[in-house]
Amino acid sequence: MRSKAKGLLRPLTTKPLQPVSCHIHLFCLLCVLILSALFLTLSEAVCNSQDQESLLWFSGNVSSSVSPLNWNLSIDCCSWEGIKCDDTSESDVTAISLPLRRLSGNLSWSVQNLHRLSHLDLSHNLLSGPLPPGFFSALDHLMVLNLSYNSFSGELPLEHGSNKFFFPIQTIDLSSNLLQGQILNTSIYLLGAFSLISFNVSNNSFTGPIPSFMCMSSPQLSHLDFSYNDFAGRISRGQGRCLNLSVLRAGFNNISGEIPVEIYNLSELEELFLPANHLTGKIDNSITRLKKLTLLELYFNHLEGEIPKDIGHLSSLQSLQLHVNNITGTVPLSLTNCTKLVKLNLRINRLIGNLTELEFSQLQRLKILDLGNNSFTGDVPEKVFSCKSLTAIRFAGNKLTGQIPPQVKELESLTFLAFSDNILTNITGALSILQRCRKLSILMLARNFYDETFPSNNGLVGSIPGWLGTLPNLSYIDLSRNLLTGELPKEFFHLKALMSEKAYEATEKNYLPLPIFISPNNIIISQQYNQMYNFPSAIYMERNNLTGSIPVEIGQLKALQVLELHGNNFSGRIPDELSNLTNLERMDVSNNNLSVLLHFMSYFNVANNSLEGPIPTGSQFDTFPKSYFEGNPLLCGGVLMTSCTAPRREPATTTEDDELKRTLVVGSAIGYIFGFSSILFVCAWRV
């Protein structure tokens, strides 16, 4: 029996069953291959044909010579540069990202056919024309829209052309375009933008009131930027309902009225930027509730009253700019508790008090301090110079007394220092201190703030120090209207920044840390310079008691544009080396005792000297007024209309004749270089 049982069981393990197992394995392998192929097919986005056609229409309306769109029909559109599709079987286009491509042309209406588009970024291009009608409501899946830095024009097409009343848009950036019109409170699109977080329409030409409904319709709104437009009216109290708002910017508009106190309830607010409007009233003390505020800029308004006494509670504040208002009172002592301050500008207000009472030493992050044109009294606050990060200081236009403290030389990063129009003493001694400020490029000690130049009209005495010529970045100096005596030191004309055009261009010409104002000859209208690039290279030393000859080394300053030496006691000849100054556009050496005529440039005044010889005719010499040559009895011809025949003088030696001829030739040659446009340019900055 046992052997029978074994025989019956044996067929269950015999070899003929192996082919069945093999077939099962093959079947499983086939299933895996089919599923893998299906997975790959699904994972590879195959462009929706309708979306592909819409993209082709879009590309047909734009062009770029720098970075053209190389969209090839042989490649699936989901693989085109700047295009993304979703992972569904339909493979709809969901994103277009083509910033910084220098694309020009119009935004095609075909974009509106991309119904699943969620991200559209065409920023920093050259696109123009109006946005297509119904643009916003047609793209009802759009979450991010960035069309900034283009030239789009016309009004925003916010009309409602959809059956939807909810739009998932989160970010709208239309800044820096040519858009205009009003943003109405009745816009269904914006009323339905419940998820909106950021809305930026700055630097356009929008008019009307700032929309007040957005805080109610978009509770998550954190960034609002309406600055640099033509918005008018008052700031709505409704803006105080944006409980998540961190940035509110509406500067450089025509907004009037007071800042609503509801704004001060925005506990998340970090930036409040409302300069250059027509705001009135006081800065309410409740502003100190904004504990997260880092930027408070309300300059160029009509605000009055005092700075909130508890402003020191704004411990996160980094920039406080309240200049050009009617703010009165003293600077609160608590202000120095804002230890994170980097920029403090209270210029042109009606502030009073003694600045020595303030603990400036607590402001170790402070880089820019501007307290100019107020009525501060007392000594120069020495504690200011313990702020080691300072790069720019202006105390001009106050009633400060005393001397410039020697601690100023410890400010290693100081590039800008203005003390003009105060009651300082021993300024000559201060210059020896300031020579150790090796990075100092702008020094202003002038009498009048609106004629700020280098130390002029301060009653400086003595000779000009030669070390001035060692300052590597010095390209503008004004020592005019003082009591300086002696000769011009040769070392002074070793100014590296002016010895060649290449050296001048290599000097740092970034934005000035504080603007400079120059009123030519006390004219009310002044020029404002915010960039060193626009600042003329100049030497002003007129109306002193300087003597001796003009050093021949002056010919080394080939980048010099302006030279003013009139009203001194210079004698001798005008050096031929001046002809090397091929960038010179203005020179005035009148009212000296100079001899030999040198003639060139767009402005040339040699009145009241001892010059002799014929005045050249032609070119710009015929445009100079007669007064520029008067007071030189031996000059003749040209605009003086006097005959040059048989002059009564001793016969000149051959050397003198040759020198005069050479001078005339050089002067005439240079005269042809400078045109009428130079005259207009020169008159723009100092007359």
Q: Cα–Cα distance between 259 and 127 in angstroms, integer?
A: 37
The CATH number of whichever domain residue 594 belongs to comes to 3.80.10
According to the model, what pLDDT value does residue 162 have?
59
For residue 358, what are the domain limits? 321-439
Strands 511-518 and 527-531: antiparallel
Looking at residue 137, its pLDDT comes to 86
Strands 416-418, 392-394: parallel, antiparallel or unpaired by DSSP? parallel
pLDDT band for position 201 (50/70/90)? very high
Residue 579 sits in the same domain as residue 431: no
Please indicate, yes or no, whether residues 544 and 664 belong to a single structural domain of this protein: yes
Query: Does 510 lie in the same domain as 389?
Result: no
Q: What pLDDT was estimated at residue 442? A: 75
For residue range 513-547, list pLDDT tens digits in order.
Answer: 767 655 444 333 445 555 555 567 888 888 888 99
Measured CA angle at 512 (ends 506, 514), to 5 deg: 165
3-state secondary structure of 478: strand
Q: Which residues contact 90 (CB under 8 A, 6 or more apart)?
A: 48
Non-local CB neighbours of 544 within 8 Å, separated by 6+ positions: 479, 480, 481, 482, 483, 484, 485, 567, 568
pLDDT score for 534: 57
pLDDT tens digits, one per residue of 127-151: 999 999 989 988 989 999 999 999 9
Lowest mean pLDDT among 96-110, 205-219, 257-271, 500-514: 500-514
Mean pLDDT of 308-316: 97
Lowest-confidence range among 19-33, 54-68, 229-243? 19-33
On the CB side of 507, how many CA atoms lie within 13 Å of its CA? 26
H or E segment and range at residue 320: strand 319-321
Residue 10 falls inside a structural domain: no
Residue 439 pLDDT? 77
Does residue 517 sit in the same domain as residue 633? yes
In a domain, 191, yes or no: no
Place of tokens 């009617």: 326
- Of residues 379 and 650, which shows the higher confidence score? 379
- How far is CA 16 from each of CA 11, 13, 20, 22, 588, rounded to the nearest angstrom? 9, 9, 9, 11, 118
Indicate whether 528 and 667 sit together in one domain: yes
pLDDT band at 665 (very low <50, low <70, confident <90, very high): very low
Q: Are strands 545-548 and 569-573 parallel, antiparallel or unpaired?
A: parallel
Q: Is the pLDDT of residue 451 over 80?
A: no
Q: Domains in the chain: how many in total?
A: 2
Q: 282-286, 292-296, 347-351, 441-445: which has the minimum mean pLDDT?
A: 441-445
Q: Is pLDDT larger for residue 648 or for residue 142?
A: 142
Residue 504 has pLDDT above 90, yes or no: no
- Of 78-87, 93-102, 230-239, 672-681, give the lowest mean pLDDT range: 672-681
**306 lies in a domain?**
no
**Whether residue 661 has pLDDT greater than 60:** no
Task: Specify whether 532 is located in the same domain as 632.
Answer: yes
Identify the bridge partners of residue 594 per DSSP, sorted by sequence position.
Answer: 572
**Backbone torsion region of residue 301, taken as left when φ is above 0, otherwise alpha when ψ lies between -120 and 50, otherwise beta:** beta
Query: Which residues, including other chains, have CB under 8 Å from residue 429's CB and lie 6 or more apart?
Result: 403
Give the residue-averaged pLDDT of 412-422.
87
CATH number, position 362: 3.80.10.10
pLDDT at residue 510 tops 70 = no
* 669 lies in the same domain as 549: yes
Section 322-327 average pLDDT: 97
Domain boundary among 416, 439, 462: 439
Whether 662 and 524 map to the same domain: the answer is: yes
pLDDT of residue 663: 26
471 within domain boundaries: no
Contacts of 25 (CB under 8 A, 6+ apart): none
Counting Cα atoms < 13 Å in the Cβ hemisphere of 141 gives 14
The structure tokens listed for 475 are: 């390209």
Q: Which helix (H) or strand (E) element contains residue 3?
A: helix 2-9
- Tell me if 214 is assigned to some domain: no
Distance CA 387, CA 385 (A): 5
Can you give 382-414 as a three-state secondary structure string?
A: HHHHHCCCCCEEECCCCEEEECCCHHHHHCCCC
How large is the average pLDDT for residues 234-243?
91
Q: 181 burial class (0-12, 13-18, 19+ CB within 10 angstroms)?
A: middle
Helices (H), 365-498: 427-434
Q: What is the pLDDT of residue 594?
A: 82
Whether 44 is in a domain gets the answer: no
Rounded CA-CA distance 356/563 in Å is 40
| Helix intervals (H) in 157-300 | 188-191, 214-217
Distant-in-sequence contacts of 401-404, Cβ < 8 A, 24+ apart: 401/377, 401/425, 403/429, 403/430, 404/380, 404/430, 404/433, 404/434
Residue 529 and residue 416 share a domain: no
Q: Cβ(237)–Cβ(210) under 8 Å? A: no
Q: Using CA atoms, how far apart are residues 650 and 381, in angstroms rounded to an integer?
A: 64
Give me the pLDDT at residue 496, please.
Answer: 82
C-alpha 212: how far from its chain's center? 30
Q: Residue 587: helix, strand or coil by DSSP?
A: strand
Dihedral sign, Cα of residue 171, residue 175, residue 179, residue 183: positive
pLDDT at 68: 87
Residue 491, pLDDT score: 84
Confidence of residue 495 (pLDDT cuts 50, 70, 90): confident
Report, as an integer, the average pLDDT of 245-274. 97
Give the model's pLDDT for residue 225. Answer: 98
Tell me which of 393, 410, 439 is where a domain ends. 439
Please check the confidence at residue 626 and state whether its pLDDT lies above 90: no
Q: Which residues contact 172 (CB under 8 A, 6 or more apart)?
A: 145, 196, 198, 199, 200, 201
Cα 231 from Cα 109, distance rounded (Å): 29
pLDDT at residue 243 tops 60: yes
At residue 88, the pLDDT reads 75
The reply to whether 545 and 673 lie within a common domain is yes
Residue 432 and residue 544 in one domain: no
Going by C-alpha positions, the residue among 578, 608, 534, 549 that lies closest to residue 671 is 578
Mean pLDDT, rounded, for 429-441: 72
Q: What is the separation of C-alpha 113 from the centre of its chain, rounded to a whole number of angstroms? A: 40
Whether 84 maps to a domain, the answer reads no
Q: Which of 207-221, 333-347, 661-675 has the lowest mean pLDDT?
A: 661-675
Q: Output DSSP code: residue 488.
A: P
- Report percent pLDDT > 70 for the chain: 74
Lowest mean pLDDT among 127-131, 213-217, 283-287, 624-628: 624-628
Answer whether residue 264 is part of any domain. no
- Computed over every residue of the chain, the mean pLDDT equals 79
